[in-house]
Amino acid sequence: MIEHFFGRVEEFDETSHRVRVIAGIEVGVFKLDSQWVAWENSCPHAGGPVCQGRIMPRVEEQLNANQQSLGMCFSKERQNIVCPWHGYEYDLRTGVHQGHSSYRLRPVALALRGRDIFVQLPEGVGLALGEGA
């Protein structure tokens, strides 16, 4: 794996994200309160730019003690990212689609070094596009 500089911590507020091309791969880095995650900007469904989609609270069904529905509501803890092409939703922290767990965003390893953010990509990524490592 090769580490690539992505940006600075100061570029993010408590719930923001950036998408950049790093070594020929579009990568989305998200700050979720104090947690950081990074995903390849490609929806598993049809290759859409998922990291550029809308971020919204997950819709959850509330159940009573007898497991009867009390209706739907927005989660206070969980956020989804919605692919702008076809509306596929993925849990922003885990990358998993709620309806089909086989659909998952491809994670990108992320490291913080002081105030700098780095992503880790396999060696040779981008070489097919004529870029150096």
Q: What is the pLDDT of residue 56?
A: 92
pLDDT in tens, 97-124: 988 889 999 999 999 999 999 999 877 6
The domain tally of the chain equals 1
Instruction: Specify the CATH number for the domain of residue 49.
Output: 2.102.10.10
Please give the residue range of the domain that contains residue 91.
Answer: 2-129
CA distance 29 to 76: 21
pLDDT in tens, 7-55: 999 998 877 899 999 988 999 999 988 889 999 999 999 999 999 999 9
Instruction: From 129, 116, 114, select the one nearest 5 (Cα to Cα).
Output: 116
Using the CB atoms, write b or e for 112-132: b if 16+ within 10 Å.
eeeeebbbebeeebbeeeeee
pTM confidence score: 0.83
